[in-house]
Amino acid sequence: MQLLEQPINSLSLPNRQDQSRGAKLLAIVPTRSSAKEFLAIRSLALLLRRRDSDVSILVTGSTFDDVRLMSHENVFVTGPVDASELGSVLQAHNVGWMLTGFDGALFGHPLIQSVRNADIPVAYLDWSMGEITPRAGDLALQPDLPLEQFANQIISWIEGT
């Protein structure tokens, strides 16, 4: 058996603009297009709306139901994005936070690795169960959180940064 190396693209985004002016943006990078990812993104969109937040969601990739997610006024879905395209897709946006790797364990995936190495705060499921210290500003979430707690922790993290 031969292992093929997956190149990990560096994800360098422009310095965040003053988040108090203009739109605030959570970029979500899904990896599986699963129903679980869809429900998590929808829960975040609904919670942001209930809290009357000015944070919007940019889903950078495809989901289980892109059109249904875009029926929420605070969500836009780009459609399929390769890891090598991620930086150029996000460059035009004022991304303040990123979320990836939130649908089960998927180690070494190029999209997850690119996002985890981004130079802005990133939220992700922590499969090390706290054994690996997150970077300053990142949010390492417990993998077994109920959906409502998952969404609440992400929104509280955004509001606290």
Q: What is the pLDDT of residues 108-134, one digit of tens each?
A: 667 878 887 888 999 999 988 889 899
Residue 7 has pLDDT above 50, yes or no: yes
Q: Where do the structural domains in the chain lie, given as residue ranges?
A: 24-160
d(CA 52, CA 49): 5
For 65-90, b where at least 16 C-beta lie within 10 A, e where not — what string?
ebeebeebebbbbbeebebeebeebb
Handedness of CA 58, 62, 64, 68 (dihedral sign): positive
Residue 150 has pLDDT above 50, yes or no: yes
In terms of pTM, does the model score above 0.75? yes
d(CA 43, CA 155): 11
Per CATH, the number for 24-160 is: 3.40.50.2000
Q: What is the pLDDT of residues 55-73, one digit of tens each?
A: 999 999 999 999 999 999 9
